[in-house]
């Protein structure tokens, strides 16, 4: 297959390298130092999916619009951060409209946004549990080689989703799932792993090992499930979690609920995973937080509720984005307690230090 991968972050590069290894013709859209390094010597992928130096993969700064719509590729992976979707579509829409697009993205909006913009493409959503870290230009380490779930809508997987699973399932560890819309919410819950590393500078495993931070994470997860339930969503099944288990979790006291973040961290294995949000902070980039914890806050408002834990974590990540200075677990705990007690979280984030 001729495949384009738009987005040369850790996950985009992982997919591109795995597709190259499986013998597909891969064109990766990259920028700056990443473009230079990949053009010179390909992508070096190591870690959980094995060691691979790409051989055929080509890196380009942008995709050219072909004379025939959708003519250059059989499939496109859009693997940009949620906040970069509109820009990526504005830049590459002409080149990819008409070609099936797999949107690999966190948050709730990716597939919808792309489907509305690319009228001639059929779009499939992808939720990846793979944890990968960008090491240096051209080099990525997979710290957790996990499943990527594909699907769309609320029904069972359709024929196209099944076909993609059959063609690329082995190479990329793809699994087709039903109730994709609900699964985006379950992934939003998994992405509660992201904020605290970005706020404290610790890995996901270190955050979960710290009792104070683990309890905060449990609260933010519980709040996410409660908000989802209030919007009427039925959580989709990924990572052995589904609607019933999550509704049960949302009713548990926080001390019992801690088992959930602990389970996520233990499945991640021993190699420290910073998560994608801390990686953005380290690279001085804007994070995806408004589409993770921020999405929970917006969804809560839509049903007339508040989500003070998610609100606080969003505000603290924005503070670290601005200052580059991490918070201590105690400072985070004070901010969350203040917000839950009704003190404004966002406005006090800066004054906590
Ligand atoms: C699953 C997880 C937490 C892997 O790191 C992720 O989706 C992310 O970092 O964005």
Point out the ligand 1 atom lying closest to the alpha carbon of residue 273. Answer: 5
ipTM of the complex: 0.97
Q: Residue 283 — φ and ψ, nearest 5°?
A: -95, 5
Pocket test of ligand 1: the residue of 47, 106, 145, 207 to mutate, having most ligand atoms within 8 Å of its CB, is: 106
d(CA 15, CA 26): 10
How far is residue 3's CA from residue 1's CA, in Å, rounded to a whole number? Answer: 6
Domain with CATH 1.10.1040.10 in the chain: 184-340
Supply the pLDDT for residue 70.
57
Q: Does 131 sit in the ligand 1 pocket, CB within 6 Å?
A: yes
Find, among 255, 265, 277, 261, the residue nearest to 106 by Cα.
277
Distance CA 12, CA 51 (A): 16
Q: Which residues, in sequence order, are bridge partners of residue 126?
A: 104, 150
Task: Give the residues across from 150 on adjacent strands.
Answer: 126, 176
CB-ligand 1 contact for 123 (6 Å cutoff) = no
For the domain covering 184-340, report its CATH number. 1.10.1040.10
| β-bridge mates for residue 139, sequence order | 44, 136
The closest of 171, 177, 160, 170 to 15, measured between CA atoms, is 171
**Pocket flag, ligand 1, residue 9 (CB < 6 Å):** no
Distance in angstroms (rounded) separating the CA atoms of residues 187 and 108: 9
Cα 211 to ligand 1 centroid, rounded to whole Å: 21
- 264, 266, 276, 293, best to mutate for ligand 1 pocket (most atoms within 8 Å of CB): 276
Series of mean pLDDT values for 10-residue runs along the chain (353 residues): 97 98 98 97 98 97 78 94 97 94 98 95 97 98 98 98 98 98 98 98 98 98 98 97 97 97 95 98 97 98 98 98 98 96 59 52
Q: Given this model, what pLDDT does residue 333 score?
A: 98
**Whether the CB of 237 sits within 6 Å of ligand 1:** no
Q: What is the pLDDT of residue 346?
A: 46
* Ligand 1 centroid, distance to 342 Cα (angstroms): 30
User: Which residues make up the CATH 3.40.50.720 domain(s) of the chain?
Assistant: 2-178
The 3-state DSSP class for residue 128 equals: strand
CATH topology classification for 2-178: Rossmann fold (3.40.50)
pLDDT digits (tens, 9 = 90+) for 241-271: 999 999 999 999 999 999 999 999 999 999 9
Predicted pLDDT at 349: 58
DSSP 327: P
pTM comes to 0.95
Asked whether 273 lines ligand 1 (CB < 6 A), one says yes
pLDDT at 71: 72
Specify the residue for token string 């591109």. 16
348: three-class secondary structure by DSSP? helix
């Amino acid at each position: 297959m001729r495949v384009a991968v738009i987005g040369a972050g850790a996950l985009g590069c992982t997919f591109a390298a795995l597709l190259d290894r499986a013998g597909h013709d891969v064109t990766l859209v990259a920028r700056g130092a990443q473009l230079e390094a990949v053009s010179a010597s390909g992508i070096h992928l190591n870690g959980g999916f094995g060691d691979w130096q790409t051989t055929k993969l080509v890196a380009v700064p942008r995709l050219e619009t072909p004379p025939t719509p959708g003519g250059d590729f059989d499939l496109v992976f859009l693997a940009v951060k949620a906040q970069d979707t509109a820009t990526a579509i504005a830049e590459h829409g002409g080149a990819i409209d008409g070609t099936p697009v797999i949107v690999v993205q966190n948050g709730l909006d990716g597939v919808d946004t792309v489907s509305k913009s690319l009228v001639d493409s059929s779009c499939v959503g992808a939720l990846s549990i793979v944890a990968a870290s960008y090491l240096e230009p051209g080099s990525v380490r997979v710290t957790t080689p996990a499943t990527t779930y594909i699907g769309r809508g609320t029904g069972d997987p359709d024929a196209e989703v099944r076909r993609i699973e059959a063609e690329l399932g082995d190479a990329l560890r793809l699994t087709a799932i039903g109730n994709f819309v609900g699964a985006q919410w379950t992934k939003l819950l998994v992405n509660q792993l992201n904020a605290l590393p970005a706020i404290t500078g610790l890995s996901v495993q270190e955050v979960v090992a710290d009792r104070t931070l683990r309890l905060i994470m449990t609260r933010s997860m519980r709040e996410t499930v409660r908000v989802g339930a209030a919007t009427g969503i039925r959580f989709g099944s990924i990572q052995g979690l589904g609607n019933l288990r999550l509704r049960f979790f949302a009713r548990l006291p926080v001390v019992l609920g801690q088992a959930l973040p602990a389970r996520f961290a233990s499945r991640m294995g021993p190699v420290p995973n910073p998560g994608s949000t801390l990686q953005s902070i380290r690279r001085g980039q804007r994070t995806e937080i408004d589409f993770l914890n921020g999405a929970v806050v917006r969804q809560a408002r839509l049903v007339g509720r508040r989500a003070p834990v998610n609100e606080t974590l969003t505000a603290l990540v924005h503070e670290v984005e601005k200052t580059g200075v991490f918070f201590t677990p105690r400072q985070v705990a004070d901010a969350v307690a203040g917000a839950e007690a009704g003190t404004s979280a966002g406005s006090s984030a800066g004054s906590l230090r």
